[in-house]
């Protein structure tokens, strides 16, 4: 399992405890050092500037990272190169279908009540569920879907969880994609 944006390595530790071969990429040098101290194989730096750890990987994850990167589709393309045929890519991030309107409402409320905290979480990119799926389609991963399987226009959960697989025998970037 490869975790992109692994932070302090909590997910890597759990997966390793379950018997998985794990590695990570982390941009924060202090967090990467904490991972190394815990005996985890973590590359320090940005996915755009480092080499992916030696794969292929059965699972590549982005937990609340992708919508904060400067080029999410390119990050997905780079990560997909490390996927084994049949491997799974999993990404979780904010649902702009909910968070963007909440952010606008918080800005309006701040005019009358400036001491109220801003409850909206919007990262660098405000991606709606359909946008998450579109990114996976563009890089050619198969069986792209939202979880828990709701249609994109009805997906009213605060976070979006998407998965896709690399088709066996297909190069990443060329596989057919279907949304469920």
**Whole-number pLDDT of residue 104:** 73
Closest CA to 180 of 152, 153, 156: 152
| Domain, as residue range, for 131 | 2-94+126-165
Render each residue's pLDDT in the chain as its tens digit; 180 residues: 999 999 999 999 999 999 999 999 999 999 999 999 999 999 999 999 999 999 899 999 999 898 888 999 999 999 999 999 999 999 988 877 766 666 777 778 888 888 877 665 556 667 778 888 888 888 888 888 877 656 556 666 667 778 888 877 655 443 333 333
Domain count, the chain: 1
DSSP bridge partners of 23 = 2
CATH of the domain at 159: 3.40.50.150
Q: By the 8 A CB rule, do 111 and 97 touch?
A: no
Residue 103 covered by a domain: no
86, part of any domain: yes
């Amino acid at each position: 399992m490869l975790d992109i944006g692994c932070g302090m390595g909590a997910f890597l530790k759990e997966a390793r405890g379950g018997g998985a071969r794990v590695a990570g990429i982390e941009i924060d040098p202090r967090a990467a050092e904490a991972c190394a101290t815990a005996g985890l194989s973590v590359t320090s730096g940005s996915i755009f500037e480092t080499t992916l750890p030696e794969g292929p990987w059965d699972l590549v994850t982005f937990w609340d990272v992708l919508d904060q990167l400067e080029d999410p589709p390119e990050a997905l393309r780079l990560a997909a190169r490390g996927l084994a045929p049949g491997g799974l890519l999993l990404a979780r991030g904010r649902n702009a279908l909910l968070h963007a309107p909440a952010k606008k409402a918080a800005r309006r409320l701040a005019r009358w009540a400036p001491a109220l905290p801003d409850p909206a979480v919007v990262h660098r990119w405000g991606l709606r569920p359909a946008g998450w799926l579109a990114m996976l389609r563009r890089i050619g991963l198969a069986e792209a879907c939202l979880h828990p399987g709701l249609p994109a226009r009805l997906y009213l959960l605060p976070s979006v969880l998407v998965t896709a697989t690399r088709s066996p025998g297909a190069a990443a970037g060329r596989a057919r994609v279907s949304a469920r």
